[in-house]
Amino acid sequence: MLCGPALGVSLAGEVRSFAWRSSLLPAFLLSLREGLEIALLIGIILGSLRRVQRPELKQYVWLGAGSATALSLVIALILYALGASLQGQAEQIFEGLMMLLAAGVLTWMIFWMQRQSRMITMQLEAGVRQATLQSGGRALFFVAFFAVVREGIELALFLTASAMTTDGLQTIVGALLGLAGAAILGWGLYASTLRLNVRSFFAVTSILLLFFAAGLVAHGVHELNEAGWIPPIVEHVWDINPILDESSGVGMLLKTLFGYNGNPSLTEVLAYIAYFVLVLIGLKLAAFPARPSPKAIS
């Protein structure tokens, strides 16, 4: 039985362990979602090859996907090294702009996937059919490469922004776990040994990632406040750190997932609210089907 100082040390260790694990979640969720998207894209291409009875070309699919993955990794390392080489105001500006850019791309990706998911499948299948009829392997390489590289570069951007809000090691561990999980899910779906409601999965992760993007917006504005690019207007609208410290276990979980700040500036609060206002407007517009043009009607 623990008591006194020993109990205090044990509790402090548990809090640190919880905070460390919670900091893995953004990178894990981002990598799991993007990795599953990549796995599904590769699965569509391989399935199309199987349907046109050209399975011998699948090596070009893996070569294209592997090349896209390598390029994405190089871009991630360049972005991380660039951020690590900067100091002072330059570092704050770089981090602030990277977070805002990542939030914008992440939000665009969620809305784009919602509207274009069916078209992606048809376009990939058409691309595979055309590739097998033309130059075969070389064309198929580029079909796989361009299908994967967009997702890979997006993930590189997101993970770089995530690494700015947590420790780099936590981002790497979370990303590796997420990609491993995506690979297992993707293989299970392709081999028909696993059943997963993909639509529900993407719907739930989209909601979580929208909150994460809102946190990136607020954190990016905070960095630009520190750099003097955006005035805070009011330096601290409130300070609830004595109640829920952002460095505590729960505080770290809220900070990494939702951008929690115990003492935000007014512009941070306004940016956070404005982001969700724009998201709600986007969801409302997305709910209405596109109207046909007058030419199409006539």
Domain residues of the chain, as ranges?
27-287
Q: Are 147 and 46 in contact (CB under 8 A)?
A: no
Query: Is pLDDT of 89 > 80?
Result: yes
Using the structure block, give the residue that is written with the tokens 């500006």. 93
* 186/109 Cα distance (integer angstroms): 20
Expressed in percent and rounded to 5, the helix, strand and coil fractions of the chain are 80, 0, 20
Identify the CA nearest to 162 among candidates 69, 99, 255, 105: 99
Residue 6 — pLDDT band, cuts 50, 70, 90?
A: low
If one counts every other C-beta atom within 10 angstroms of the C-beta of residue 67, the result is 16
Give the Cα-Cα-Cα angle 22, 275, 104 (nearest 5 degrees): 75
Greater confidence (14 vs 62) lies with 62
Choice among 54-58, 150-154, 210-214 with the minimum mean pLDDT:
54-58
Range in 28-37, 51-60, 116-125, 276-285 with the lowest mean pLDDT: 116-125
For position 9, what pLDDT does the model report? 47
Mean pLDDT (whole number) for 151-171: 85
Work out the average pLDDT over 198-209. 84
Reply yes or no on whether the pLDDT at 297 is more than 80: no
pTM: 0.82
Rounded to 5°, the CA angle 263-265-271 comes to 120
- DSSP structural state of residue 240: -
- The answer to whether the beta carbons of residues 49 and 61 sit under 8 Å apart is yes
For residue 100, the SS3 value is helix
Whole-number average pLDDT of the chain: 83
Looking at residue 50, its pLDDT comes to 85
- Residues contacting residue 195 through CB under 8 Å, at least 6 positions apart: none
Q: What pLDDT is recorded for position 133?
A: 77
Average pLDDT for 73-89: 89
pLDDT in the model for residue 64:
94
Arithmetic mean of pLDDT, 149-173? 85
Whether pLDDT at 10 is above 60: no
Q: What is the pLDDT of residue 292?
A: 46
- pLDDT, residue 15, reads 54
Q: Does residue 126 carry a pLDDT above 70? A: yes
**pLDDT value of residue 100:** 94
Task: Say what the pLDDT of residue 24 is.
Answer: 82
Q: Which of 73-87, 91-105, 115-129, 227-241 has the lowest mean pLDDT?
A: 115-129
Residue 232: pLDDT band (50, 70, 90) is very high
pLDDT at 1 over 70: no
